Amino acid sequence: MNMHQMASRLVLIIISISSLASASNLEVGFYSYTCPSAETIVRSIVNKAVSDNPGIGAGLIRMHFHDCFVRGCDASVLLASIPGNPTAERDSFVNNPSLRGFEVIDEAKAELEAKCPQTVSCADILTFAARDSALKLGNINYNVPSGRRDGRVSIADEVPQNVPGPSFNADRLITTFAKKGLSKDEMVTLSGAHSIGVSHCSSFSNRLYSFDDANAIDPSMDPSFVELLKTKCPKPPSNIDPIVVLDAITPIRLDNVYYEGLINHQGLLGSDQTLLSSESTKEIVLSNANYGAHWATKFAEAMVHMGSIDVLTGYDGEIRKYCNFVN
Protein backbone atom coordinates (compact mmCIF):
# COMPACT_ATOMS: atom_id res chain seq x y z
CA MET A 1 0.00 0.00 0.00
CA ASN A 2 1.49 3.38 -1.03
CA MET A 3 1.43 6.57 1.03
CA HIS A 4 -1.53 8.03 -0.92
CA GLN A 5 -3.60 4.90 -0.28
CA MET A 6 -2.64 4.91 3.41
CA ALA A 7 -3.61 8.56 3.74
CA SER A 8 -6.95 7.98 2.00
CA ARG A 9 -7.75 5.03 4.24
CA LEU A 10 -6.81 7.04 7.33
CA VAL A 11 -9.19 9.84 6.27
CA LEU A 12 -12.01 7.31 5.81
CA ILE A 13 -11.32 5.81 9.24
CA ILE A 14 -11.34 9.26 10.88
CA ILE A 15 -14.62 10.18 9.15
CA SER A 16 -16.18 6.87 10.21
CA ILE A 17 -15.08 7.30 13.83
CA SER A 18 -16.36 10.88 13.86
CA SER A 19 -19.75 9.83 12.47
CA LEU A 20 -20.04 7.02 15.00
CA ALA A 21 -19.16 9.37 17.84
CA SER A 22 -21.88 11.83 16.81
CA ALA A 23 -24.45 9.07 16.39
CA SER A 24 -23.56 7.63 19.80
CA ASN A 25 -24.54 10.96 21.39
CA LEU A 26 -28.13 10.42 20.32
CA GLU A 27 -30.41 8.78 22.87
CA VAL A 28 -34.00 7.62 23.12
CA GLY A 29 -35.90 9.98 25.40
CA PHE A 30 -33.41 12.82 24.97
CA TYR A 31 -36.12 15.39 25.83
CA SER A 32 -37.56 13.48 28.80
CA TYR A 33 -36.58 16.24 31.23
CA THR A 34 -36.24 19.34 29.05
CA CYS A 35 -39.46 18.91 27.03
CA PRO A 36 -41.24 15.68 28.02
CA SER A 37 -44.21 16.26 25.69
CA ALA A 38 -42.05 16.84 22.59
CA GLU A 39 -42.74 13.56 20.81
CA THR A 40 -46.42 13.58 21.78
CA ILE A 41 -46.85 17.06 20.31
CA VAL A 42 -45.20 16.09 17.02
CA ARG A 43 -47.21 12.88 16.75
CA SER A 44 -50.50 14.67 17.34
CA ILE A 45 -49.81 17.21 14.60
CA VAL A 46 -48.57 14.55 12.16
CA ASN A 47 -51.58 12.31 12.82
CA LYS A 48 -54.00 15.13 12.03
CA ALA A 49 -52.14 16.17 8.88
CA VAL A 50 -51.86 12.61 7.55
CA SER A 51 -55.50 11.89 8.38
CA ASP A 52 -56.47 14.91 6.29
CA ASN A 53 -54.04 14.03 3.48
CA PRO A 54 -52.18 10.68 3.52
CA GLY A 55 -49.76 12.02 0.93
CA ILE A 56 -48.25 14.24 3.61
CA GLY A 57 -46.99 11.11 5.39
CA ALA A 58 -45.16 9.98 2.29
CA GLY A 59 -43.79 13.50 1.92
CA LEU A 60 -42.41 13.62 5.46
CA ILE A 61 -40.63 10.28 5.09
CA ARG A 62 -39.14 11.41 1.79
CA MET A 63 -38.13 14.78 3.26
CA HIS A 64 -36.29 13.02 6.10
CA PHE A 65 -34.47 10.86 3.54
CA HIS A 66 -33.48 13.86 1.43
CA ASP A 67 -32.34 15.72 4.53
CA CYS A 68 -30.12 12.91 5.80
CA PHE A 69 -28.46 12.29 2.43
CA VAL A 70 -27.28 15.91 2.12
CA ARG A 71 -25.00 17.11 4.94
CA GLY A 72 -26.50 14.52 7.29
CA CYS A 73 -29.72 14.70 9.33
CA ASP A 74 -29.40 18.37 10.23
CA ALA A 75 -32.67 19.88 8.91
CA SER A 76 -30.75 21.71 6.18
CA VAL A 77 -33.55 20.69 3.79
CA LEU A 78 -35.93 22.94 5.75
CA LEU A 79 -33.95 26.16 5.32
CA ALA A 80 -35.39 28.73 2.92
CA SER A 81 -33.34 30.38 0.20
CA ILE A 82 -32.04 33.83 1.17
CA PRO A 83 -31.10 36.52 -1.39
CA GLY A 84 -27.34 36.84 -1.58
CA ASN A 85 -26.74 33.26 -0.41
CA PRO A 86 -26.55 30.07 -2.49
CA THR A 87 -29.95 28.62 -3.36
CA ALA A 88 -31.09 26.30 -0.56
CA GLU A 89 -31.69 22.55 -0.80
CA ARG A 90 -35.47 22.83 -0.72
CA ASP A 91 -35.35 24.84 -3.97
CA SER A 92 -33.20 22.34 -5.86
CA PHE A 93 -34.93 20.91 -8.94
CA VAL A 94 -34.77 17.56 -7.12
CA ASN A 95 -36.86 18.88 -4.22
CA ASN A 96 -39.01 21.63 -5.67
CA PRO A 97 -41.93 21.22 -6.19
CA SER A 98 -41.96 17.55 -5.15
CA LEU A 99 -41.14 17.78 -1.42
CA ARG A 100 -44.21 18.11 0.81
CA GLY A 101 -44.91 18.59 4.50
CA PHE A 102 -42.99 21.75 5.37
CA GLU A 103 -46.09 23.27 6.95
CA VAL A 104 -46.43 20.27 9.29
CA ILE A 105 -42.89 20.74 10.59
CA ASP A 106 -43.50 24.49 10.99
CA GLU A 107 -46.69 23.85 12.98
CA ALA A 108 -44.93 21.37 15.27
CA LYS A 109 -42.03 23.75 15.76
CA ALA A 110 -44.33 26.64 16.65
CA GLU A 111 -46.12 24.58 19.28
CA LEU A 112 -42.86 23.28 20.72
CA GLU A 113 -41.38 26.78 20.87
CA ALA A 114 -44.42 27.90 22.87
CA LYS A 115 -44.03 24.92 25.21
CA CYS A 116 -40.24 24.55 25.40
CA PRO A 117 -38.42 27.52 23.78
CA GLN A 118 -35.29 26.68 21.75
CA THR A 119 -35.07 23.17 23.13
CA VAL A 120 -36.21 20.74 20.41
CA SER A 121 -34.26 20.84 17.15
CA CYS A 122 -35.89 20.94 13.74
CA ALA A 123 -33.76 17.92 12.81
CA ASP A 124 -35.36 15.89 15.60
CA ILE A 125 -38.85 17.15 14.74
CA LEU A 126 -38.41 15.94 11.16
CA THR A 127 -37.08 12.58 12.35
CA PHE A 128 -40.02 12.15 14.75
CA ALA A 129 -42.44 13.16 11.99
CA ALA A 130 -41.05 10.53 9.60
CA ARG A 131 -41.44 7.86 12.30
CA ASP A 132 -44.97 8.99 13.10
CA SER A 133 -45.86 8.88 9.40
CA ALA A 134 -44.62 5.30 9.19
CA LEU A 135 -46.75 4.45 12.20
CA LYS A 136 -49.85 6.17 10.85
CA LEU A 137 -49.60 4.72 7.33
CA GLY A 138 -48.03 1.34 8.02
CA ASN A 139 -48.38 0.60 11.74
CA ILE A 140 -44.57 0.57 11.85
CA ASN A 141 -43.40 1.99 15.17
CA TYR A 142 -39.90 2.37 16.58
CA ASN A 143 -38.01 4.39 19.15
CA VAL A 144 -36.16 7.39 17.75
CA PRO A 145 -32.82 8.28 19.34
CA SER A 146 -32.72 12.08 19.48
CA GLY A 147 -30.41 14.93 20.38
CA ARG A 148 -29.66 16.17 16.87
CA ARG A 149 -28.85 19.81 16.36
CA ASP A 150 -29.63 21.95 13.34
CA GLY A 151 -27.18 22.84 10.60
CA ARG A 152 -26.59 26.36 9.33
CA VAL A 153 -25.77 25.62 5.68
CA SER A 154 -28.04 24.54 2.85
CA ILE A 155 -26.87 24.42 -0.80
CA ALA A 156 -29.10 23.28 -3.67
CA ASP A 157 -26.19 22.11 -5.82
CA GLU A 158 -25.34 19.46 -3.23
CA VAL A 159 -28.71 17.70 -3.62
CA PRO A 160 -28.22 15.99 -7.02
CA GLN A 161 -24.69 15.07 -5.93
CA ASN A 162 -26.03 13.07 -2.97
CA VAL A 163 -29.67 12.05 -3.51
CA PRO A 164 -30.12 9.03 -5.83
CA GLY A 165 -31.99 9.72 -9.05
CA PRO A 166 -35.10 7.95 -10.40
CA SER A 167 -33.13 6.30 -13.20
CA PHE A 168 -30.26 4.94 -11.08
CA ASN A 169 -29.48 1.26 -11.59
CA ALA A 170 -28.87 -1.09 -8.67
CA ASP A 171 -25.08 -0.67 -8.69
CA ARG A 172 -25.33 3.13 -8.49
CA LEU A 173 -27.92 2.84 -5.73
CA ILE A 174 -25.72 0.47 -3.74
CA THR A 175 -22.75 2.82 -4.12
CA THR A 176 -24.75 5.93 -3.18
CA PHE A 177 -26.17 4.32 -0.05
CA ALA A 178 -22.79 2.83 0.90
CA LYS A 179 -21.29 6.34 0.90
CA LYS A 180 -23.80 7.14 3.66
CA GLY A 181 -22.94 4.01 5.61
CA LEU A 182 -26.05 2.08 4.59
CA SER A 183 -25.93 -1.52 3.37
CA LYS A 184 -27.36 -3.05 0.21
CA ASP A 185 -30.11 -4.70 2.23
CA GLU A 186 -30.97 -1.39 3.90
CA MET A 187 -31.13 0.30 0.49
CA VAL A 188 -33.61 -2.25 -0.87
CA THR A 189 -35.59 -2.18 2.38
CA LEU A 190 -35.84 1.62 2.51
CA SER A 191 -36.94 1.62 -1.13
CA GLY A 192 -40.15 0.09 0.21
CA ALA A 193 -41.13 3.64 1.20
CA HIS A 194 -42.18 3.88 -2.46
CA SER A 195 -45.26 1.90 -1.51
CA ILE A 196 -46.73 5.32 -0.68
CA GLY A 197 -46.56 8.67 -2.39
CA VAL A 198 -46.53 9.88 -5.97
CA SER A 199 -44.13 10.70 -8.77
CA HIS A 200 -44.23 13.22 -11.58
CA CYS A 201 -44.37 11.66 -15.05
CA SER A 202 -41.12 13.41 -15.98
CA SER A 203 -39.28 11.12 -13.55
CA PHE A 204 -40.07 7.99 -15.60
CA SER A 205 -41.62 8.99 -18.96
CA ASN A 206 -38.45 8.02 -20.80
CA ARG A 207 -39.30 4.42 -19.87
CA LEU A 208 -42.55 4.78 -21.81
CA TYR A 209 -41.42 6.62 -24.92
CA SER A 210 -37.64 6.82 -25.40
CA PHE A 211 -35.85 4.28 -23.25
CA ASP A 212 -32.72 3.71 -25.33
CA ASP A 213 -31.51 3.36 -28.91
CA ALA A 214 -32.79 -0.22 -29.17
CA ASN A 215 -36.06 0.08 -27.24
CA ALA A 216 -38.64 2.86 -27.14
CA ILE A 217 -40.21 1.15 -24.11
CA ASP A 218 -38.24 -0.20 -21.15
CA PRO A 219 -38.35 -3.98 -21.73
CA SER A 220 -38.43 -4.63 -17.98
CA MET A 221 -41.94 -3.14 -17.78
CA ASP A 222 -45.23 -5.02 -18.05
CA PRO A 223 -46.70 -3.92 -21.44
CA SER A 224 -50.20 -3.46 -20.00
CA PHE A 225 -48.73 -1.27 -17.27
CA VAL A 226 -47.00 0.82 -19.94
CA GLU A 227 -50.26 1.35 -21.80
CA LEU A 228 -52.00 2.40 -18.59
CA LEU A 229 -49.26 4.90 -17.78
CA LYS A 230 -49.40 6.36 -21.29
CA THR A 231 -53.01 7.36 -20.61
CA LYS A 232 -51.77 9.41 -17.66
CA CYS A 233 -48.43 10.72 -18.92
CA PRO A 234 -48.18 12.58 -22.25
CA LYS A 235 -45.23 12.05 -24.52
CA PRO A 236 -42.43 14.57 -23.87
CA PRO A 237 -42.04 17.41 -24.47
CA SER A 238 -45.23 18.44 -22.71
CA ASN A 239 -46.53 21.56 -21.00
CA ILE A 240 -47.95 19.47 -18.18
CA ASP A 241 -46.31 17.05 -15.76
CA PRO A 242 -49.02 14.94 -14.07
CA ILE A 243 -48.46 12.84 -10.98
CA VAL A 244 -48.96 9.08 -10.68
CA VAL A 245 -49.09 6.96 -7.52
CA LEU A 246 -45.96 4.92 -6.92
CA ASP A 247 -47.96 1.84 -5.85
CA ALA A 248 -51.42 1.57 -7.39
CA ILE A 249 -52.44 -1.42 -5.22
CA THR A 250 -52.04 0.11 -1.74
CA PRO A 251 -51.18 3.77 -2.48
CA ILE A 252 -51.76 5.05 1.06
CA ARG A 253 -50.51 2.02 2.97
CA LEU A 254 -46.82 1.64 3.84
CA ASP A 255 -46.35 -2.09 3.24
CA ASN A 256 -44.41 -4.70 1.28
CA VAL A 257 -46.88 -4.78 -1.64
CA TYR A 258 -44.37 -2.49 -3.38
CA TYR A 259 -42.11 -5.51 -3.87
CA GLU A 260 -44.95 -7.53 -5.37
CA GLY A 261 -45.29 -4.76 -7.91
CA LEU A 262 -41.63 -5.17 -8.85
CA ILE A 263 -42.13 -8.93 -9.30
CA ASN A 264 -45.04 -8.12 -11.62
CA HIS A 265 -42.79 -5.70 -13.55
CA GLN A 266 -44.85 -2.73 -12.44
CA GLY A 267 -42.18 -0.68 -10.67
CA LEU A 268 -42.86 2.93 -11.61
CA LEU A 269 -39.32 4.29 -11.50
CA GLY A 270 -36.30 2.77 -13.16
CA SER A 271 -34.62 2.85 -9.75
CA ASP A 272 -37.44 0.65 -8.45
CA GLN A 273 -37.56 -2.01 -11.17
CA THR A 274 -33.77 -2.36 -11.24
CA LEU A 275 -33.95 -3.93 -7.77
CA LEU A 276 -35.58 -7.02 -9.29
CA SER A 277 -33.60 -6.94 -12.55
CA SER A 278 -30.24 -6.93 -10.78
CA GLU A 279 -28.93 -10.26 -9.53
CA SER A 280 -27.27 -8.45 -6.61
CA THR A 281 -30.60 -7.28 -5.15
CA LYS A 282 -33.19 -9.69 -6.58
CA GLU A 283 -33.19 -12.09 -3.63
CA ILE A 284 -33.75 -9.24 -1.17
CA VAL A 285 -36.77 -8.10 -3.20
CA LEU A 286 -38.22 -11.63 -3.18
CA SER A 287 -37.65 -11.99 0.55
CA ASN A 288 -39.23 -8.62 1.33
CA ALA A 289 -42.23 -9.54 -0.84
CA ASN A 290 -42.73 -12.85 0.95
CA TYR A 291 -42.14 -11.78 4.55
CA GLY A 292 -44.00 -8.55 5.27
CA ALA A 293 -43.52 -8.52 9.03
CA HIS A 294 -39.78 -9.07 8.66
CA TRP A 295 -39.58 -6.28 6.08
CA ALA A 296 -41.39 -3.92 8.48
CA THR A 297 -38.87 -4.71 11.23
CA LYS A 298 -35.97 -4.15 8.86
CA PHE A 299 -37.55 -0.91 7.64
CA ALA A 300 -37.76 0.43 11.19
CA GLU A 301 -34.13 -0.50 11.89
CA ALA A 302 -32.95 1.05 8.63
CA MET A 303 -34.84 4.28 9.37
CA VAL A 304 -33.10 4.54 12.74
CA HIS A 305 -29.73 3.91 11.09
CA MET A 306 -30.42 6.47 8.35
CA GLY A 307 -31.46 8.97 11.00
CA SER A 308 -27.95 8.85 12.49
CA ILE A 309 -26.09 9.89 9.32
CA ASP A 310 -23.56 12.67 10.05
CA VAL A 311 -25.67 14.18 12.83
CA LEU A 312 -24.67 17.32 14.70
CA THR A 313 -24.71 16.92 18.49
CA GLY A 314 -23.36 18.57 21.62
CA TYR A 315 -22.23 22.12 20.84
CA ASP A 316 -22.21 21.70 17.05
CA GLY A 317 -24.90 23.46 15.05
CA GLU A 318 -27.78 25.17 16.83
CA ILE A 319 -31.40 24.83 17.92
CA ARG A 320 -33.30 27.00 15.43
CA LYS A 321 -36.19 29.11 16.61
CA TYR A 322 -37.78 28.87 13.17
CA CYS A 323 -37.05 25.82 11.03
CA ASN A 324 -36.76 27.72 7.75
CA PHE A 325 -34.15 30.23 8.98
CA VAL A 326 -30.93 30.04 10.96
CA ASN A 327 -30.87 31.97 14.22
| 72 annotated as belonging to a binding site for a ligand | yes
d(CA 168, CA 142): 29
Helix (H, G, I), strand (E, B) or coil at 318: strand
Tell me which DSSP letter residue 72 carries: S
**Residue 265 is a catalytic residue:** no
| 89 annotated as belonging to a binding site for a ligand | yes
- Looking at residue 12, its amino acid is L
| 194 annotated as belonging to a binding site for a ligand | yes
Phi, psi dihedrals of residue 254, rounded to the nearest 5°: -80, 105
| 176 annotated as belonging to a binding site for a ligand | no
| 250 annotated as belonging to a binding site for a ligand | yes
Residue pair 282/185 in contact by the 8 Å Cβ criterion:
no
Gyration radius of the chain's alpha carbons: 20
Q: Please name which of 214, 213, 225, 202 lies closest in space to residue 273, comparing C-alpha atoms.
A: 225
Other beta carbons within 10 angstroms of residue 123's beta carbon come to 32
Catalytic: which of 4, 66, 265, 294? 66
Burial class (CB in 10 A: 0-12, 13-18, 19+), 217: middle
Q: Please name which of 68, 71, 95, 69 lies closest in space to residue 81, comparing C-alpha atoms.
A: 95
| 70 annotated as belonging to a binding site for a ligand | yes
Q: Please name which of 50, 190, 46 lies closest in space to residue 129, comparing C-alpha atoms.
A: 46
Concatenated DSSP letters for 134-164? HHHHH------EE--BB-S---GGGHHHHSP
| 255 annotated as belonging to a binding site for a ligand | yes
Known binding residues for heme b are: 194
Residue ranges of the annotated binding site for Ca(2+) are 67, 70, 72, 74, 76, 89, 247, 250, 255
Binding residues: 67, 70, 72, 74, 76, 89, 164, 194, 247, 250, 255
Catalytic residues: 66
Which residues make up each annotated binding site for substrate?
164
